[in-house]
Amino acid sequence: MKIIRAEFNGECFYGVLNGEEVLRLKSAPYDAIEYTGEKLKLSEVVLLPPAEPSKIVCIGKNYKAHADEMGEGQPPEPVLFIKPNTCIVYDGEDVVYPEMSNRVDYEGELGVVIGKRASKVQKGHAAEYILGYTCLNDVTARDIQKSPTQGTQWTRGKGFDTFCPIGPHIETELDAQNVELETRLNGEVKQHSNTNLMTHGIDSLICFITEGMTLLPGDIVATGTPEGIGSMQRGDVVEVEIEGIGTLKNRII
């Protein structure tokens, strides 16, 4: 099932994509999927980011080859940081290059969308709390992330407005631990990997995060980027494609 959010006649709502139709839902898809019975043409609605997270919990260095390319080695346990929900933009929306930065990078990642309040999740049970999966770009002002004046904190460099494109929808039926992930810049392949190369798998990540932090319905876990990160320039078009989900495409301005 492909879950979307859309706006039509001034109203925002969740829906399920059915070919060229949108089947409108009564409410957010977290407790149950309930249809209103209304069908809209995909061409007559404005699509929106498919989730409204209270926070985006991101994992640093969760693919060994990426940890190696950063020259910092693999940390012994997942490294967490948070992007604010004001970073979110949708498929087709622009990513704004901050004037204060001279290096802005793409990081193609699998995004896990939480479907149920999750606290102290036990190993092997994370799937019960997951609504589905989406493509995500953990856009990073690398020079600001690494700036000595920011200490070891990544919030400023990764928290700019528009720095978290997500979409184009939430796929609920996916063997997300074994899908191909590719990032293209102006059509050229820059990252190509498989989610089976994550150091800490999705189940472990959800358990680790929720030991101390409650994840709410709609929250997103960004599961880390594989090797091949690099910089973008104004005017570039970046695409994150994940097998079984689709392609998230954004321009840098």
Q: Which residues bind Mg ion (CB under 5 A)?
A: 107, 138, 225
Distance CA 81, CA 150 (A): 14
| CA neighbours closer than 13 Å in the CB half-sphere of residue 134 | 35
Dist CA 5 CA 58 (whole Å): 22
Report how far apart, in Å, the C-alpha atoms of 42 and of each of 46, 79, 135, 193 are.
8, 39, 20, 31
CA atoms within 13 Å, Cβ hemisphere of 23: 12
| Nearest distance, CB of residue 229 and Mg ion, angstroms | 8
Residue 60 or 132 with smaller CB distance to Mg ion:
60
Closest contact distance (angstroms) between CB of 107 and Mg ion is 4
Tokens linked to 178: 């074994």
Q: From CA 225, how far away is CA 174, in angstroms rounded?
A: 19
Q: Measured from the CB atom, is 47 or 164 closer to Mg ion?
A: 164
CB of residue 137 vs Mg ion: minimum separation in angstroms?
A: 9
Q: Which is nearer to Mg ion, 138 or 171 (CB)?
A: 138
Residue placing its CB nearer to Mg ion in the complex, 67 or 130: 67
Using the minimum distance from each CB to Mg ion, give the nearer residue, 29 or 157.
157
Residue nearest to Mg ion (CB): 138
Task: Round to whole Å and give the CA distance between 35 and 185.
Answer: 38
- CB closer to Mg ion out of 15 and 167: 167
How far is residue 246's CA from residue 7's CA, in Å, rounded to a whole number?
21
Residue 72: CB minimum distance to Mg ion, A: 13
**Rg of the chain in Å (alpha carbons):** 17
- Cα angle 101, 61, 111; round to 5: 85
CA distance 233 to 105: 9
Q: Name the minimum Å distance from CB 163 to Mg ion.
A: 11
CA–CA dist 28, 218 (Å, integer) = 9
Tell me whether residue 79 or residue 96 sits nearer to Mg ion (CB atom): 79
Shortest Cβ distance from residue 165 to Mg ion (Å)? 13
Q: How far is the CB of 224 from Mg ion (least distance, A)?
A: 6
